[in-house]
Structure 1
Amino acid sequence: MDAVSQPTKLTEAERIDRLRLIRTDNVGPRTFRSLVNHFGSARRALAQLPDLARRGGSSRAMRICSEEDARAELAASRKLGVSLLAPEEAGYPPRLTAIDDAPPLLGVRGALDTLMRPMIAIVGSRNASAAGLKFAGQLARDLGEAGFVIISGLARGIDQAAHRTSVASGTVAVLAGGHDRIYPSEHEDLLAAILDARGAAITEMPPGHEPRARDFPRRNRLISGAALGVVIVEAAQRSGSLITARMANEQGREVFAVPGSPLDPRAAGTNDLIKQGATLVTEAADVIQAVAPIMERPIMLPLREDDEDQLSGDPNAGDRAQITALLGPSPVSIDDLIRMSGAPPAIVRTVLLELELAGRLERHGGGLVSMI
């Protein structure tokens, strides 16, 4: 069984402060965590943002989410039946709390107890074959009967087949847009069926947010992050499902792949995953056997890079110039920046935070950063 710490509950004021911080320009989940860890609370971090952005070289005033806007989003969410949950609160998927970029507030609709059960992700091609759809459905049904919740992205094809056959046993839809902006729109009935059957839907996006191309990889990290493992049923080369598999690997999740014909381009990605070491799956027992030992271990929150070294209060001009000069459009690891600059880790991370808040830095997976 998953072991999790005793849940707490945010006050209304804390929820508003956290919402303001994560909805502020240039603040993503990792930056949010760095700021709160360093300043002790979202409220104190909000007060320091203008100065940090100025030190990072911002040429204009930083847009900070107002309390009025945060309260309006909270009200709109509640009107939709959506709870905005923090990682330490009941209903936030336990394994999702352990990823580096877990959403500071997750919009949750549906049965919270379903989100606390062990999950297996099933994803694959939107343009799936009949055989792929049949297998995804059978796998989802068998895993559901074995007690697992199926999590997927509500997309056409494999996702849809996995959701539909696991409605009765429990399934979770991860949305790329807001709870009132379902994509594709023809799956609104499927989502309604999921929620009616004590399933759930989650997203980190606010109400009214229309999903864009860049939102789908962000969504995919939530699918893999909440799950014990990810099963890829069909995936062409360079498909979104392979992005999910890569993220699952980075998050330490099990990656499973269903083999397919070498003549079918929809199986090229999954066959390559098997060559690279993914577990080959032909039945639910393959998945259950692999994740059983993981379920017996408690969920361990990893030591975060910014937990190791707190931010420094005030790097000097020389530090900033040296670290900035080492950065360019090509991603480089933070560890390499620390080594090449010779600066203390806390100084490097503070300069990177300043640059990010100024809109000059982009963070990538695996601890990589680059200049915009």
Structure 2
Amino acid sequence: MERQTPVPTRLTDAQRIDWLRLIRSDNVGPRTFRSLVNHYGSARAALERLPELARRGGASRLGRICSIEDAEREIAASRRIGVMLLAPGEHGYPPRLALIDDPPPILGVRGAPDVHMRPTIGIVGSRNASGAGLKFAQTIAHDLGEAGFVIASGLARGIDQAAHRASLSGGTVAVLAGGHDRIYPPEHESLLDAILAANGGAISEMQLGHSPRARDFPRRNRLIAGTALGVLIVEAAHRSGSLITARFANEQGREVFAVPGSPLDPRAAGTNDLIKQGATLTTSAADIINAVTPIMARPIELPFEEDDSGRDESREPEDSDRARIVGLLGPSPIGIDDLVRLSDSSPAVVRTVLLELELAGRLDRHGAGLVSLNWDR
């Protein structure tokens, strides 16, 4: 099956607290976390710089920095319900998820650690699924499980639920939009219990106690795509959230598979469009297995670890640098490479100014290296 390179990341207890504190602090998302650690060499050094960076970015008030006590409480509470808080590269952290542009620096992982390390296919689709769609999801999930694949899905009603139930014996992972103790929908708590009892697993980047909001579901969808070799969309209307999963899969270099449906059924409109756009038309598990088998032979090169020797020693931005870069930003997204060119600044200076703005809550990131100024702040 899939070959993996030796894992580089092994956090000490102190580093795990530092990493958790940094990602749980205000205005620090996965991309900002990585930029901070790359720039300052460690999470602890980045934590020391947060207040200064936010002030330089124009923050009217300093955001909350997660305390050592809060981080220790979260680690202890997670352990009590069987959740491990893992960094990319640690055993149990899905190896392909570690390769995306914005992997969770700390991921809550529950269940059998080995299930998260196996080759995975995501299956998602309509919550209001047709009977034919539910049957197909069950059939293909079962067949992929028999072939040795783990099935990842979002624990939602409809296609997600069908895929999870049909792959209990082969291995399935629920990707959660909320914390591990805030299951949505609530009636699927028993399904999650069945997944865990069958040596499956669950993952979430959210802290315990976090109830999912509308904006958390696209974040969850990026994790479904990120864990997988490819994602199968079984049914999806034109505005379905499942199409967001397909978009993330495309951006992350994953395979996208789609089940064709009747042009008279609005639940098939999105999947039929995906096929027109180049998704692999899928009518059996063999279509997926044949497409991903060559990918599985490639080694997985897992990501960064803390390294103070790699600290970016480039000069800090001057006021003139900051003014030029902020002046080029507006409500319309612009590429970071364009900012470097137009501002006549070094990439390190531009990255630092963007960090300052983000920590001040004034920057929005749009993916694909695009940023814009948040004029509401």
The normalised TM-score by structure 2 is 0.95
- Superposition RMSD on alpha carbons, in Å? 1.5
Give the match's secondary structure for 2:330.
coil
Which residue identity does 1:23 align to in structure 2? R
CA deviation after TM superposition for structure 1 residue 310, in Å: 4.4
Offset, 1:7: 5.5
State the match for 1:80 in structure 2: 81
Write out aligned runs for 1:111-122 (5 A): 111-122=112-123
Q: What does 1:121-270 align with in structure 2 at a 5 Å threshold? A: 121-270=122-271
Residue type of the alignment partner of 2:323: A
C-alpha displacement of 1:336: 1.4
Structure 2 unaligned residues grouped into runs of 5+? 305-309
Instruction: Specify the alignment match of 1:70 in structure 2.
Output: 71
Q: Which runs of 5+ in 1 are unaligned?
A: none
Deviation at 1:331, TM superposition (A): 1.3
Secondary structure at 2:151 match in 1: strand
2:367 pairs, out of 361, 365, 368, with 365
Alignment of 1:269-288 (within 5 A): 269-288=270-289
Q: Deviations over 1:34-67 (max 9, x none)?
A: 1111211111110011111111111112311111
Distance across 2 between alignment mates of 1:5 and 1:245: 30
**Cα drift, residue 2 of structure 1:** 3.2
> Does 2:293 correspond to 1:292?
yes
Deviations 1:263-314 (CA, angstroms, capped at 9, x unpaired): 11110000000000000000000000000000001124589xxxx9947441
Question: Is 1:29–1:103's contact at 8 Å kept on the other side of the alignment?
Answer: yes
- Structure 1 residues 354 and 8, CA gap change in structure 2 (3 angstroms): closer
Shift of 1:318: 1.1
Question: Match for residue 327 of structure 1?
Answer: 329
Q: Is the 8 A contact 1:128 1:234 kept in 2?
A: yes
Aligned residues: 368
Residue in structure 1 matched with residue 27 of structure 2 by the alignment: 26
Instruction: Assess, with a 3 A threshold, how the Cα gap between structure 1 residues 311 and 346 changes in structure 2: closer, same or farther.
Output: farther
Deviation at 1:3, TM superposition (A): 1.4
Quote the residue 1:339 is aligned against. Answer: 341
State the distance in 2 between where 1:300 and 1:4 align: 6
Once the two structures are TM-superposed, the CA of residue 239 in structure 1 deviates from its matched residue by 1.2
Q: Contact between 1:311 and 1:347, CA under 8 Å: does it hold in 2?
A: no
What is the 5 A alignment of 1:37-76? Answer: 37-76=38-77
Amino acid at match of 2:176: L
Contact 1:311 1:350 in 2 (8 A): no
**Residue 266 and residue 310 in structure 1: after superposition, are their counterparts in 2 closer, same or farther (change >3 A)?**
farther
Q: Distance in 2 between matches of 1:309 and 1:346?
A: 11
Further displaced range: 289-298 or 33-42: 33-42
Aligned residue identity for 1:352: L
Higher relative contact order (CA 8 A, sep 6+): 2
TM-score scaled to structure 1, two decimals? 0.96
Q: Which amino acid aligns with 2:264?
A: L
The 2-side partners of 1:229 and 1:78 are apart by 31
Q: CA deviation at 1:25?
A: 0.4
Letter in 2 for 1:56: G
Question: What residue identity is the alignment partner of 1:185?
Answer: P
Whether the aligned pair in 2 keeps the contact of 1:4 and 1:299 (CA below 8 Å) is: yes
